[in-house]
Amino acid sequence: MSASHGEKSQLASVDAEVPPRGGAATSEEALRDLRRQHLARGRSAIDRARALCRFAGIGEQDARPVPTDPASKAATAVRLSAQALARVAEAPLDPAADARCARNAAAAAAVVATAAQAHAGAGELPDAAHAAAVRASLASGQAAGQVGLGRDEALNRTADEAEAAAVAAAKAAGWWV
């Protein structure tokens, strides 16, 4: 069920009145800073996912409207997440929505990490890279979740650190192609 345009405007104004969580500022500049932070994390996750797709031999052509196999699931998740991130700049400033886009990108990268791990085979570095991808996805989900709504500095920082660790682990595993 979709809200009408008028209802969306009312909901947006209600959201604007909600006090910030975690002591985060709500000024327009603070909201822009949060958007930059979430987008940077999301873009990093998409870059990581694309590199892992190359490593695993998954191409954009593997994306499907209804993905059924690991390659199509990975390609479709990356495509949809990248499209959503590309459109964020057109939307009103909304840390919760921006954080959800970053979360979706990290989740897509975790899906691709599973395919990359299967492609690489068992080993300490592939297992560590997969685990780091899952941790980055979970941390990004925490930052976007109901507690933080994309505004909690500590959760955002933890998600940023987990994303950086996932990138480093993917590179160490030789997945960054």
Count CB atoms within 10 A of the CB of residue 32.
Answer: 11
Does residue 121 sit within a domain? yes
Does residue 3 sit within a domain? no
- Burial 55-92, CB ≥16 within 10 A → b, else e: bbebeeebbeeebeebbbbbbbbbbebbebbeebeeee
pLDDT surpasses 80 at 7: no
150's torsion region: left (phi>0), alpha (psi -120 to 50) or beta? left
Two tokens, residue 123: 């080993």
Does residue 16 sit within a domain? no
Q: pLDDT tens digits for 66-83?
A: 999 999 999 999 999 999
Q: What percent of the chain is modeled with pLDDT above 90?
A: 80
Q: What is the number of structural domains in the chain?
A: 1
Check residue 17 and give its pLDDT: 38
Which structural domain range is residue 36 located in? 26-172
Check residue 15 and give its pLDDT: 40
CA distances to 41, 97, 126, 173 from 72, rounded to whole Å, are 24, 26, 21, 23
119 by DSSP, 3-state: which? helix
